[in-house]
Amino acid sequence: MNDETHARIARSFEAQGLMATLGARLAWVGDGEVHIAMPNSPQVSQQHGYVHAGAVTSIVDSACGYAALSRATPEFEVVSAEFKINLMRPAIGTHFLAVGKVQNAGRLLTVCSGEVRAFLSKGASEYKVVALMQATMVLVRA
């Protein structure tokens, strides 16, 4: 992946108000794979103290979308057409990492998979997968 594609993804990410609201940051960008990190905070909690499913879904949807954008030519942007998410366990942890990966990039549709990993302590390498996503992204003219 070239520097311009990375810069285009970073600019797009910075323009998302929701990611700023969630405290999320772009953690890693590669060819067909993007990671988005989010800390646990009271702003992303639900009534039982877990991270809200909406926050978990939002970061993995964006990770999948940016993974698809990493394969798109500059005249295209990406929007979500469809996704399915499996919430596998309560989202408990100090921080979370959404990993989006391209599975197949077609002419206008890109199928991605994603997962959200929960880490129990800062600097930890062990994690639990709390959510899995399958998503279809659509390329639209910029």
| Structure confidence by residue, pLDDT tens digits, 20-75 | 999 999 999 999 999 999 999 999 999 999 999 999 999 999 999 999 999 999 99
Model pTM score: 0.96
Tens of pLDDT along 87-117? 999 999 999 999 999 999 999 999 999 999 9
For residues 75 and 42, the answer to whether their CB atoms sit within 8 Å is no
Q: Which helix (H) or strand (E) holds 69?
A: helix 53-69
pLDDT digits 0-9 by tens, 113-135: 999 999 998 888 899 999 999 99
CATH 1.10.1370.30 matches 3-141 = no
